[in-house]
Chains A and B, each alone.
Chain A
Amino acid sequence: MTEIFSVFLLILLVITAAAAIRTTNLFVAVMLMGIFSLLIAINFFLLDAADVALTEAAVGAGISTVLFLGALAFMNEQERKQAPKRLAGLISVSITGLIMAYATFDKPAFGDPNAPAHQHLAPWFLETTQSAVDIPNVITAILGSFRGYDTLGEVFVVLTAGIGVLFLLDTPSAGAMLKRDEGLRHYLIPRMVGRLLIPFILLFGLYVQFHGEYGPGGGFQAGALVAASIILYALLEGQDRALEVLPQRVLTALMSFGALLYGGVGMVGIFKGANFLDYSVLSSDPVAGQQIGIILIEAGVGFTVTGVLLSIFHAFVARGRTQ
């Protein structure tokens, strides 16, 4: 039954992708990309990858759509007519596609228990998590501790993206050049319902942040959720009010502080005589040390993701307002 549903979703995925490519209206394309993300999130969930599904739903379907719409606000909605260079593109895409399809024949069958992925590291992770970290969610243990280097890299990728956007688009300063942004303040129903929802979104974000050790969740998803609640506030009350709540300098500090916290926890490991990002030495009890380390680095991830997403959002919106 689940397989049928998966195949159905995958076909919908292909249709959505084709529709997003074919449409010349960028607004429609953005909406289709949001649907694409939601469909692939459901697919991840069917494959028991709840953490990835949560990230995809929060970042791919939620925040990216909002950022795309923010970028669309100062662009033409219709795609510019391009000279058709279809044949060369078609040939290169077909060759790549055929090579990838050919490569899948060498892959183990879907759900094969003898696949290398289930034989090589996965059993070790499953066994060691219990004794070394002692948290129920193995994914968080792998992301935060066993493969802490990778997650550190991801955090710095996010930070770099934020810095890059802030360099390209001016940060929303306190300049008086901007038009007044009233948001939806004159629309009673969206405003009231939105204001009612904001605290619950924020609460859910904190739940996802601190429940990451026990269930699906963690810093990335929580950061996206917290950013979403502030973005909702900015949409309802106008950007100026949102910047009064969390000014740009706080966001800039937040995104660098998060990355610094992550790296700093790693450095503490070195100073205490262990390897970089080895949390066992953070406490007298190695298991407790691992848990403290994971909570700290997840907090760092959450700070950075919130700061970067909100900075990018504010930069886009402020640019739309100057024109």
Chain B
Amino acid sequence: MFELLIQIASWLLLITGSAFVVIGGIGALRMPDLYTRMHAASVTDSLAPILIIGGLLLQAGLTLFSIKLIAILLFLLLTGPTATNALASAALLSGYRAQHDEEAES
């Protein structure tokens, strides 16, 4: 029974995580400009790994494998947002401005 609950929770996490990856991918393709695209894509490297690796952790249990997974998660959580931050400030410094709706409407 307990085993089954773990499996269900794990698969729920995996599926929601994968859904966020897909949403991030769609957003990166469909959003109008760089900043909004980055906003969409950043979901794939912050929330999605937490859910996916959380799901895998439930599958792995308390083993050496799960410690490696946690190390991967920490690495992703540190590097992903940093890369997004570096990309955004690089875009801002090179004079890339966000599109505004007013401009499009007027």
Contact = CB atoms under 8 A, between A and B. Distances in A.
Interface of A: 184, 187, 189-190, 193-194, 196-197, 200
B79 interface: yes
Contacts of A193: 78-79, 82
B78 A187 contact: no
Interface centre among B78, B79, B82, B89 (most CB of A within 10 A): B82
Contacts of B89: 187
A217 B27 CA distance: 37
A197 B79 contact: yes
B69 to A, nearest CB: 15
B78 A197 contact: yes
A190 B85 contact: yes
Nearest to B93: A187
A197 B78 CA distance: 9
Query: For chain B, which range describes its interface: under 10, 10 to 19, 20 to 34, or 35 or more residues?
Result: under 10
A189 B85 contact: yes
A225 to B, nearest CB: 13
Contacts of B86: 184, 187, 189-190
16 contacts: A184-B86, A187-B86, A187-B89, A189-B82, A189-B85, A189-B86, A190-B82, A190-B85, A190-B86, A193-B78, A193-B79, A193-B82, A194-B82, A197-B75, A197-B79, A200-B75
Nearest to B90: A187
Contacts of B79: 193, 197
Interface string B62-102: 00000000000001001100100110010000000000000
A196 B89 CA distance: 20
Given A187-B86, A194-B82, 8 more contacts: A184-B86, A187-B89, A189-B85, A190-B86, A193-B78, A196-B78, A197-B78, A197-B79
Looking at B79, B86, B89, which has the most chain A CB atoms within 10 Å of its CB? B86
Contacts of A189: 82, 85-86
Interface in B19-36: none
Interface string B6-24: 0000000000000000000
A196 B78 CA distance: 9
B98 to A, nearest CB: 20
Contacts of B78: 193, 196-197
A311 to B, nearest CB: 26
B15 to A, nearest CB: 17
Nearest to B74: A200
Contacts of A187: 86, 89
A190 B86 CA distance: 6
Nearest to A188: B85
A200 B89 CA distance: 26
Contacts of A196: 78
B8 to A, nearest CB: 21
A200 B85 CA distance: 21
A211 B78 CA distance: 26
Contacts of B82: 189-190, 193-194
A224 to B, nearest CB: 17
